[in-house]
A and B are shown apart, each in its own frame.
Chain A
């Protein structure tokens, strides 16, 4: 019994196969796909789905991880123009997540996306009642930006039908919530449609229940004045730590 406890646990050797496949697939994709830009140490699981023809509109940073069955979909045929899906350094995209971008979806540095999340900046058009929705194409859509260091919980849906949807820095989107409007920095949101349930109080330097006064959810305007500390200083500190 004691011997068993002392035994150094090692991963199942069978797990080596998917790891090797993932490594090979990542190398293959990094080397041959015409991404707008791709960083170093990008890992794409071999079941993840990125179209080579749409790759010129996708930009991936350093150390981006795409886990099983992640789908990066660029919903436009035009291969020119600025990148539609931008994933910055250190992001990790969980199992079964769908990121479908028509205009722009920007995940800033070190965003953690859980499993089966859908992030979509357009939708199916349905207004024409004579045509089946499958044949009506997609709407004009908006733009989505997810702030640095945020965490999107399992099964959440982030949908933007028009304008710009901004999730601030260091936000938490709870499991299965549906986000349709912008969220200020340092908030925890939950529910469908998502409401702010906790927020960081910069004066008391603690997390408080409910929404703080004066930091209302406003489309495309995020109050950056109420930050607890200087964002640039923090970013600089992070950079120095990373070397």
Chain B
């Protein structure tokens, strides 16, 4: 279904996959800095190490995880990774479940997802990134929060709230510095949603919406009747 546009777009998309572009430039910059080989090798080795020794629920082929990522081995059996995933520097996949607990995977990342630098994913119940999702830098995705209702003890000692579940629809784009926080129930972002930079998403959004602000509002949406993008929220599209 999406075969032909991929090829065209991969030429346009430019620097989003730095270092992996085969394009040979002018006469001056034909090759990449050879020093960049060191982190690439480290990354490759670390990914192989993860594949061999971590008990992931699943881990597809061509996964690439940067060696500075934080993944806890004790909880790795609750993480499920698809194919062709790239996880960049300093990303944290944190789980606040006890290591003994068995059950469904808590963090599910489907095929072709990209998670950029310093993104924090904190899961307790379930965080599901469907296929082809881009998560930009410094994003926070958490499905629980710190408990604070007891006024007599510090919040740090109160543990976590029950929380909800988060599902981010396929082909979505989560912008730089945004936060997706679900304190209860289910938060679902539909297909091809765009979360603008620094938005704070606390509620679900239908497919093909652009969310912006704090709290995030729908600022643009695809109108299936007019077959066009319109400003503001389309009532009929909400379901």
Contacts and interface: CB of A to CB of B under 8 A. Distances in A.
Interface of A: 25, 28-29, 32-34, 49, 51-56, 69, 71, 73-77, 79-80, 96, 98, 100, 102, 116, 118, 120, 124, 126-138, 155, 157, 159, 176, 178, 192
Given A126-B173, A178-B197, A133 B15 contact: no
A129 B229 CA distance: 10
Contact of A53 (B11, B12, B31): B31
22 contacts: A54-B18, A73-B15, A75-B16, A76-B14, A77-B21, A77-B23, A79-B28, A96-B117, A100-B15, A102-B14, A118-B197, A126-B173, A129-B192, A132-B132, A132-B133, A133-B171, A134-B133, A135-B2, A137-B11, A157-B176, A159-B197, A176-B198
A25 B134 CA distance: 31
B28 A132 contact: no
Most chain B CB inside 10 Å of its own CB: which residue of A98, A126, A155: A126
A25 B177 CA distance: 28
B103 interface: no
Interface stretch (B74-82, B156-164, B207-215): B207-215
> What 6 A-B pairs have minimum CB-CB distances, sorted nearest first?
A132-B171, A132-B132, A79-B25, A137-B12, A34-B28, A75-B14
Given A79-B29, A98-B137, A133-B134, A51 B35 contact: no
Contacts of A138: 12-14, 16
B9 interface: yes
Contacts of B35: 25, 28
A10 to B, nearest CB: 30
Contact of A131 (B114, B171, B177, B207): B171
Contacts, number: 159
A157 B137 CA distance: 12
Given A52-B29, A124-B194, A134 B134 contact: yes
A127 B9 contact: no
B33 A32 contact: yes
B112 interface: yes
Interface of B, helix, strand, loop or mixed by DSSP? loop
Nearest to A133: B173
A76 B137 CA distance: 19
B15 A131 contact: no
A173 to B, nearest CB: 12
Contacts of B30: 53
Interface of B: 1-2, 5-6, 8-16, 18-19, 21, 23-26, 28-33, 35-36, 89-90, 112, 114, 117-118, 131-134, 137-138, 170-173, 176-177, 191-192, 194, 196-198, 207-208, 210, 213-214, 222, 229
B15 A98 contact: no
A74 B15 contact: yes
Contacts of A134: 112, 114, 132-134, 171, 173
Contacts of A96: 117-118, 137-138
A69 B117 CA distance: 9
Contacts of A100: 15
A77 B9 contact: no
B177 A130 contact: no
B94 to A, nearest CB: 19
Contact of B21 (A53, A120, A130, A137): A53
Contacts of B196: 178
Contact of B176 (A28, A98, A129): A98
A102 to B, nearest CB: 7
Nearest to B26: A79
A11 B19 CA distance: 36
Contacts of A52: 29, 31-33, 36
Nearest to B138: A116
